[in-house]
């Protein structure tokens, strides 16, 4: 791989991760400046030539929407600066939960954001753990969809839990949990939940036996932590020996910190796709910089990416 042929740039809120990715590739982070106007509007400018270069733009699109707008302006500026290719590195793809019409007269936010990125001018998307795998079909450019399991599974194995059991806090995550359970050769249980409305769980039941088990709950997103903590408490009430949780994306909004701290969870483990700004001692983050760095290297060397997946 020729380090002179590509460049890495970062938006404001993902710079912590972009710096680690660049370091893993022995590459300096490119010089990009975001200038703010008094009314909150901002502009993006590359302070070095990117003509004919393959650029990788690192920016998760978590709330607020300024992060998405920054990425769109970065893409547009790169296109107008004659970059050879524009690769959006979006560890957390925001609006992904809006992937279908689940009731009349609602938007499909994930498709809209995909269209915005495509129209802005990306040639490729690198992302991780989309809320639904089929969202890759929203794009007309190549999508390299990575999985947090690449870093999470070694962590679970390192715990050496004697009676390991994989669980999912809702049936929608059963495919992910089943994949973990098969790889780790352990049993799996499900939680069936009903909601009154978004971010509010009405009821939950366990499908399976957790008595005496060391339960690891697996999810993709933890927002207000209502579901994951309710599931953890229910596991302990049903005789579990211990409960911990893994999730790809650390949104952790509103009362999430307090809920996790007050729950039966021994720890709540995330990747660093989103920066964690809270102060809950139970929260731990595992970096995915190496995984994204290796993917960028393979993209540049035209090598297979799927071969680096554990599952």
**What is the set of active-site residues?**
193
d(CA 268, CA 285): 9
Nearest to 9, CA basis, from 61, 64, 47, 51: 47
- Distances from the Cα of 197 to the Cα of 194, 275, 279, angstroms: 9, 27, 27
Task: Let me know: does 287 contact 270? Beta carbons within 8 Å.
Answer: no
Task: Let me know: does 62 contact 251? Beta carbons within 8 Å.
Answer: yes
Q: What φ, ψ does residue 217 adopt, rounded to 5°?
A: -80, 135
């Amino acid at each position: 791989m020729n380090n002179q042929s590509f460049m890495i740039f970062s938006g404001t809120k993902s710079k912590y991760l972009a710096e680690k990715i660049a370091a893993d590739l022995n590459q300096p982070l490119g010089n990009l400046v975001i200038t703010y106007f008094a009314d909150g509007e901002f502009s993006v400018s590359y302070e070095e030539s990117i003509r004919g270069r393959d650029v990788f733009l690192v920016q998760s699109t978590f709330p607020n929407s300024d992060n998405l707008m920054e990425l769109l302006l970065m893409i547009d500026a790169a296109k107008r600066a004659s970059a050879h290719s524009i690769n959006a590195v979006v560890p957390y793809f925001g609006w992904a939960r809006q992937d279908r019409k689940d009731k009349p007269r609602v938007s499909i936010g994930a498709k809209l954001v995909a269209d915005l990125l495509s129209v802005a001018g990306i040639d490729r998307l690198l992302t991780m753990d989309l809320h639904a795998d089929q969202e890759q079909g929203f794009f007309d450019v190549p999508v390299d969809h990575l999985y947090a399991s690449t870093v999470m599974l070694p962590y679970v194995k390192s715990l050496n839990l004697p009676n390991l059991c994989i669980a999912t806090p809702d049936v929608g995550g059963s495919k992910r949990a089943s994949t973990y359970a098969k790889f780790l050769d352990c049993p799996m249980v499900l939680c069936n939940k009903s909601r009154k409305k978004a971010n509010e769980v009405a009821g939950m039941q366990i499908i399976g036996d957790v008595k005496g088990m060391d339960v690891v709950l697996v999810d993709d997103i933890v927002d207000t932590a209502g579901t994951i903590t309710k599931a953890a408490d229910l596991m302990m009430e049903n005789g579990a020996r211990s409960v911990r949780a893994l999730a790809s994306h650390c949104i952790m909004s509103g009362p999430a910190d307090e809920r996790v701290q007050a729950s039966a969870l021994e720890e709540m483990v995330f990747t660093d796709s989103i920066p964690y700004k809270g102060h809950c001692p139970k929260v731990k983050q595992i970096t995915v910089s190496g995984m994204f760095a290796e993917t960028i290297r393979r993209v540049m060397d035209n090598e297979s990416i799927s071969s680096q997946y554990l599952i």
